[in-house]
Structure 1
Amino acid sequence: MTTAAATEASSTPARVRPALVLAVAPEHLPTVDSEFARYARDYDIRCADSASRVRAVVAEALEQGQPVALLGIGWRLPADAAPPGAPPGSEAPSADGASAAAVSGLVLMDELHALLPTARRICLTARGDFGLSLPKLREALQQGRIDTYLLVPQGPRDEEFHTAVTEYLSDWGWTASTPEVEGVQIIDGANSAEVARIRDFLDRMGIPHRVHRPDSAVGREVLTGLPSVQSGAAPAFPVVASGGVGSGAVLEGATARQVARLVYGSPQVVDSDDVADLVVVGSGPAGLAAAVYGASEGLDTVVLEEDAVGGQAGTSSMIRNYLGFPRGISGMRLAQRARFQATRFGARIYTGLAAESLTPASEPGEAHVIQTEGGPLRARAVLVATGVRYRRLGIEPLEELVGLGVYYGAATSASREMEGRAAFVVGGGNSAGQAAVHLARYARSVTLLVRRPDLAATMSDYLVREIAATARITVATSTQVTAGGGDGRLEWLQLAGPEGATRVDADGLFLLLGADPCADWLPQAVVRDGRGFVYTGREVPKPLWTGGRPPAALETTVPGIFAAGDVRAGSMKRVASASGEGAATVALVHAHLNPPEAS
């Protein structure tokens, strides 16, 4: 049982040894041993003095099925760090600038990564080696060979060192390990595609969960309490029990949207006569930034989200170029922190509720009305931050397998199912690159399918280099999926490339095909371009300007209705720019709500 959503045979999984944290730094062994001892309560801490000893510990862990959470390997190791199979007495290459008697630990790190692809990798270096090692460590970071490098602590309470360690242990815990506590229990008796959507929502919200079979101890306990079963009827799967969230309710025949409402409630609790200062539709980076700044500046702020908080960005396994996070941050973590921040200031966030329509105010000073399945919401100002959705592939046999091996988006919960399997990613943008790198931690092979002849035009350079340095990833350019299928689950794909059509075995297909705006719910008064993206500010066609002046920078053609992030025409389609636009909208909302008095 190596995944957070693995199907369990009983409510008491077999006990395994705690996850291993393995460190090797022979020149600083006492210090490293002392520092990592802080984690001994929850992890099996092993410190080794040589590469040969590390290999022995790893072999033992693999044989016993013990997970390895983190590797901390010194920059300088004894000469026995030469790869297996080298002639007796030979040393590993010393291209990193190390002396002949001591070699770079990157050699050993690469070797172990092939055996332990999910373990987080930290290179440990001493202050005296830092100047020598820094160029190579930076290069290794850019290539994805390590997750970070850290100086060996020089004294007690080096909390910067431990902050990095705990961040990586936390990241490993959320993405690669079985949860110790189940916030939600899912009983799946029908191999339902809806289970994949529920799991993806829970993963993106950071809620620990596990899937159980109906005949397991947990499954029997949950099912026997259902009114339908007590009356003699068969249960409707999937069944979701919220042991750790919501009211502890049990949903029968659950959908992801119902689970979302269970977690965050419904705006039906809002008085229908209440008028919010700002209603934000969408909770991606733009919507969350607007919620944080709006609520912190005293605006009565409500956020509506039909899916999981975080939007498309929330599915990113690791965002490495977001300002202020030098070690990177997952989309889930970024969204989680922003969500906590917004609610701390008083913003109300509701998930599982889509905006169905928007009726603009008929007169200045009146409220706009957003219609939802949970009822109407009235707002003095509205921010449209609904972002974009991935385009559909349009191949019917594959559309029927969505959630059963075929996924739109990164689907980080499904990544763990790819362990030892063949995964395919379609797309040439950053999201596709991040998904491929993340999948390579689990899958036997990852093939990135790109319509263009290369990646450079559409993907950030750091991702292009990391993909090139990841042995498990193959890039197939000028290639498209033309067919595929399987008996109840994805089994094969047909690809069309430069060498013609080929049929390949496939266990997972992750589609990140480009984006269409989520703006079809908006009224005609909110004018959009030919592709459906919302015009704002000077992007608005001049014939629609009022008095020869364009709307405010992020304001649409309807006063008091704003747009930010990917749904906006002319946006940069980047997390940082969307966050900036969401924050900037708040000043415009204030100006709209408090217009200057006429002189």
Structure 2
Amino acid sequence: MEASEPRRRRPAIVAVDDEPAVLAAVARDLRRQFGERYRIVRATSGAEALDALKELVTRGEQVALLVADQRMPGMAGTEYLVEARKLVPDAKRVLLTAYADTEAAIQAINEVDLDYYLLKPWDPPEEQLYPVVEDLLTTWEAGAALESGGVRVIGHRFSRDSHDLRDFLARNRVPMRWLDVERDAEARELLTMTGVEKEGLPVALLEDGTVLEHPTVRELAERLGVSVAPTAEHYDLVIVGGGPAGLAAAVYGASEGLKTVLVEREAPGGQAGMSSRIENYLGFPSGLSGSDLARRAVDQARRLGAELLTIQDAVGLTAEGAGRLVELSGGSTLSANCVLVASGVSYRQLTVPGFERLTGKGIYYGAALTEARSCQDQHVVVIGAANSAGQAAVFFSRYAGRVTMLVRGENLEKSMSSYLIDQIAALENIEVHTSAQAVLAEGDGHLDTLTIRDVNGERREKVDAAFVFIGAAPRTEWLEGVVARDEHGFILAGLDAKAAGWPLKRDPFLLETSVPGVFVAGDVRSRSMKRVASAVGEGSMSVSLVHEYLAE
């Protein structure tokens, strides 16, 4: 390395334990496995570790992981992690604890947003320590990469086109930097350098130097290689929809030898992928984000051999003999023996004056997590009462000064899990208004005011952003006249499909639709549970039914 070239510092793992022998053992094990990629920083107390963190932050260095012993004099591990989170909020947090302290560790999951707790001693570390730490670091690295560079998008915060580009890049986990032309001097400097006028916004600056003025999502996807073409003329299984059900089917289909392709019109994860935190999914005691769940599933499906086509929408289905043809929005057609419809649902649009005009300009459907940091210290309204609304309210409370929930019903208990209700009640900056609804949205170019109606009448409130979660509309218009659906558009399966007109002598399989060889799973199925775990279960089960169908 030339003397003039600055040496890139490795991200830090900060370990703290008041027992020198234990601290030395922790540092030794971490250094042996992760020392080439990370710098191991040691501290013998919470106070000493906080001083080290302040110095790292001052120098502009990254901190990837905090490892803290629970039983330390002066400052317990959980107390230290509370303070450390204020300095390095994106670092992963691990608590070291003895078996007798597991209750405290479980409680810390909620109190300090703990990512994991490890029981001491671990032996061998290859089984008890390294897989856990590697998983946490991989998750941190994925988030750090998204924040560190890649595509630069310049635009107006309250521009629907700017929002669509940012949301697409974030949900497809493409590294991106967002530059608000109104707030960031760098944005204006880049526009001057590239010669782009404000009329050309939003603009995307790619890493190869390409400047795209006012690109569509599809144009940007094609330039980035996110949208790919199918590699085969015929598949065993075509999956329509990349939510939990579709991703589970892709994993199981590919792992069991089926030539599998998944088509997703927006981004892997579906509606669940927009969830800020899923806390009741089996096997993740500290919860995980929908984006993280989607990333893990996509990596798993691809590793096993499944193809994923994104920014493609299914627009038609035809049954020709033993073949099933899925027409795509790009003009191509996928041929398969079987089709699984796992296209999920979308949030219903509010038919309230002002909402359509201001959508993407302060009003958003779904969590729109890309907007969270822009809501710092602002007033955010969340409309809805299901788990997705509760998760969003908790997430936005970290940034917004005030979060107001508008609940149409009399309480949250009818539609929201109790763990979320408890979290919301414990957060001082969240207000829940029951029997309340928005009846008017106003603003000159972006949302400024909502008129809210409740049992006390109507009132106008200044609002900076509103996020809407009101019911689910199935994405099944493309199946009109082909597959039997219920009165709400959800797809009938099993005996329900038989009653709607079934052409064969045998009964349809449990998840089979009125068209033999076409199956359905997840939220788009009539009578489904509308839960992530049940969607994953149905997606997995559908592959077994596909095998039975192919064996006929």
Q: Give the corresponding residue for 1:76.
A: 71
Counterpart of 2:5?
none
Structure 2 equivalent of residue 516 of structure 1: 473
Instruction: Write out aligned runs for 1:110-509 (5 A).
Output: 110=82, 120-125=92-97, 127=98, 130-131=99-100, 133-141=101-109, 146-152=114-120, 157=125, 160-165=128-133, 167-168=135-136, 171=139, 179-180=147-148, 182-188=149-155, 192-212=159-179, 236-243=200-207, 251-264=212-225, 274-361=233-320, 364-509=321-466
CA displacement 1:258-290 (0-9 Å, x = unmatched)? 33344456676668xx34332211111111222
Relative distance call for 1:366 and 1:176 in structure 2 (3 A) is: closer
Structure 2 residue identity aligned to 1:431: S
In structure 2, relative to structure 1, the CA distance for the partners of 1:202 and 1:486 (3 Å cut) is same
**Runs of 5+ consecutive residues of structure 2 not aligned to the other structure:** 1-7
Deviation at 1:302, TM superposition (A): 2.5
Q: Secondary structure at the match of 2:147?
A: coil
SS in 1 for 2:164: helix
Structure 2 match to 1:89: none
Match of 1:88 in 2: none
Deviation (angstroms), 1:387? 0.2
How far does residue 556 in structure 1 lie from its aligned partner after superposition? 1.0
Letter aligned with residue 360 of structure 1: A
- Segment drifting more, 259-268 vs 36-45: 36-45
Distance in 2, Cα, partners of 1:137 & 1:269: 47
Deviation of 1:30 (Å): 3.3
Whether contact under 8 Å (2:498, 2:514) holds in the other structure is no
Q: 1:483-515 CA deviation, whole Å, 9 max, x = no partner?
A: 333343333333334444444333332222221
- 2:484 maps to 527
Distance (whole Å) between structure 1 residues aligned to residue 468 and residue 13 of structure 2? 35
Aligned to 1:92: none
2-side partners of 1:185 and 1:381: how far apart?
41
User: What's the offset of the Cα at 1:178?
Assistant: 7.1
C-alpha distance in 1 between matches for 2:94 and 2:269:
28
The answer to whether the 8 Å contact 1:430/1:459 transfers is: yes
Q: Which amino acid aligns with 1:419?
A: Q
The whole-number CA distance in structure 1 between the counterparts of 2:239 and 2:478 is 14
**Partner Cα separation in structure 1 for residue 394 and residue 186 of structure 2:** 37
User: 1:594 deviation in Å?
Assistant: 4.0
Q: Contact 2:82/2:112 (CA < 8 Å) preserved in 1?
A: no
Matches within 5 A, 1:549-560: 550-560=507-517
Alpha-carbon separation, structure 1, partners of 2:295 and 2:336:
25
Aligned-pair CA distance for 1:359: 3.0
Letter in 2 for 1:243: E
Task: Give distance in 2, aligned partners of 1:466 and 1:146.
Answer: 15
> What residue is the counterpart of 2:43 in the other structure?
47
Aligned to 2:522: 565
Q: Which of 307-316 and 351-360 deviates more?
A: 351-360
Which position in structure 2 is the counterpart of 1:30?
23
Q: In 1, distance between residues paired with 2:187 and 2:504? A: 67
TM-score, with normalisation over the residues of structure 1?
A: 0.77
Where 1:540 maps in the other structure, the secondary structure is helix
Distance 1:189 1:113, change over 3 A: closer
CA distance in 2, matches of 1:419, 1:234: 25
Contact kept, 8 Å, 2:239 with 2:263, in 1: the verdict is yes
**C-alpha displacement of 1:307:** 0.4
CA distance in 2, matches of 1:112, 1:479: 39
* Per-residue deviation, 1:335: 1.8
Q: Give the 3-state SS of the residue equivalent to 1:535 in structure 2.
A: coil
Quickly say closer, same or farther: Cα 1:590–1:59, change in 2 above 3 A: closer
Alignment deviations for residues 342-382 of structure 1 (CA, whole Å, 9 cap, x no partner): 33343332211211222333xx3244342423333333322
Q: 1:313, 1:575 within 8 Å by CA — same for their partners in 2?
A: yes
CA distance in 1, matches of 2:266, 2:505: 40
* Percent identity of equivalent pairs: 41
Are 1:491 and 1:505, in contact at CA under 8 Å, matched by a contact in 2?
Answer: yes
Partner AA of 2:117 in structure 1: Y
Distance 2:450 2:61 in 1: 34
The 1:335–1:268 alpha-carbon spacing in structure 2 relative to 1, beyond 3 Å, is: closer
Once residues 71 and 412 of structure 2 are traced to their aligned partners in structure 1, the CA distance between those partners, rounded to angstroms, is: 35
Distance 1:177 1:168, change over 3 A: same
Deviation of the 1:546 alpha carbon: 4.5
* Long gaps (5+) in structure 1: 1-15, 82-103
Shift of 1:561: 1.8
| Partner Cα distance (1:346, 1:34) in 2 | 37
8 Å CA contact retained: 2:277, 2:288: yes
How many residues are matched?
540
Please identify, of 200-209 and 39-48, the stretch whose mean Cα deviation from structure 2 is larger. 39-48
User: 186-195 or 40-49, which moves further after superposition?
Assistant: 40-49
- Determine if contact 1:387/1:518 at 8 Å carries over to the other structure: yes
Q: Which residue type is aligned with residue 45 of structure 2?
A: D
Q: Is the 8 A contact 1:212 1:219 kept in 2?
A: no
Q: Against the structure 1 CA distance between its residues 503 and 375, is the aligned structure 2 distance closer, same or farther, given a 3 Å change threshold? A: same
Partner of 1:8: none
Residues 557-566 or 288-297, more deviating: 288-297
CA distance in 1, matches of 2:236, 2:145: 42
Change (3 A) 1:157 1:120: closer
Q: Secondary structure at the match of 2:271?
A: helix
The 3 A distance-change label for structure 1 pair 173 and 348 is: closer
Match for 2:23: what amino acid? P
1:11 matched residue in structure 2? none
The answer on whether the counterparts of 2:448 and 2:463 sit within 8 Å (CA) in structure 1 is yes
Q: CA deviation at 1:528?
A: 0.8
CA contact (8 A) 1:439 1:446 kept: yes
CA RMSD of aligned residues (A): 3.9
